[in-house]
Amino acid sequence: MFSNIIRAFARYYASKLATNGPNPKGVDWKDAKSQNLRFHILTQVDSLAGKSVHDAGSRLGHLVNILKERAINCHYVGSDVSHEMIYEARRRLPHVDFYVGDVLNHREHWMKADYVLASGLFYVKGRASNTYWWKFVQSMIERMYQLAKYGIAFNIMTSYVDFKAPHFFYLSPETMMKYCCNQLSPRVTIRHDYPLYEYTVYVYKKK
C-alpha cells in the first residue's frame, strides 16, 4: 500500500541526510529552533510520563532530546522507513530503541504504544497529486490511531499561507477536523496558535 510514496520518502530524506549531515537540515527542517518548537507542541498531547511513545518517522531521533529537556520519563521507540536515518539515529543514541519499519504495511509488536506521534511526516508530497497524498495521509493517521492506546499527535501544513510550494501538501484545519471527528473520534484538539505555517492535531481514543 502506497509503496511508491514510501520509497520516494526514504530516498528524499536519505539525500537530505547525505547532503546536510545529522542535524535539523539533514531531516529537512529550517533550523533547530523551529524543529524544537514542533516537538514541544507535539509532546503536549498529554502527560507522557510513564507512558510508551512511538515516534513514527523518527528520522534522527531528535525528539528524544526534547523529552529529556522536559524531563519526561517515558518508554520511547522511534521508527523510520529510511535505513540511513535509523543507522545514524542508533549511532547518535545507542541506548534508544530505533527500528526500520513501515507502519502501514508491517505488523510488529513494537509499533503499538500509549501514544503514537509523527512530526513532519505529511509535509513533502513530492510529485504526488494532492488527492493521492491526502489518501496516504488518511491511511497513516488511521493506522497511527489503531496502534495507539490513548491517542495520537501529528502536524501538517496549514492552507492559511500566502505562498504554496508545489512539492508540499497543505490542508485546511476545517477539513482535518471534519475528517478526524467523522472517521476517528470526536475528541480532537487542533493547535493553530504557534508561529509556523502548520498546525498540530491531537486525537484521543473514545471512552
> Is there a domain that residue 172 lies in?
no
Quick one: pLDDT band at residue 57, thresholds 50, 70, 90?
very high
Which cell goes with 155? 502536524
> Is there a domain that residue 168 lies in?
no
DSSP 156-197: EEES--S---TTB-EE-HHHHHHHHHHHT-S-EEEE--SSSS
CATH number of the domain within which 51 lies: 3.40.50.150
The range of the structural domain enclosing residue 65 comes to: 3-122+134-163+178-204
CA atoms of 132 and 128, how far apart (whole Å): 6
Which cell goes with 199? 498546525
| Average pLDDT score over residue span 26-47 | 90
Q: Which residues 6+ apart lie within 8 Å of 182 measured at CB?
A: none
Quick one: pLDDT band at residue 20, thresholds 50, 70, 90?
confident
**Domain total for the chain?**
1
> Is there a domain that residue 27 lies in?
yes
Asked if residue 69 has pLDDT above 90, the reply is yes
> Is there a domain that residue 127 lies in?
no
157 strand-pairing partners = 170, 198
* pLDDT at position 21: 85
- DSSP secondary structure letter of residue 154: E
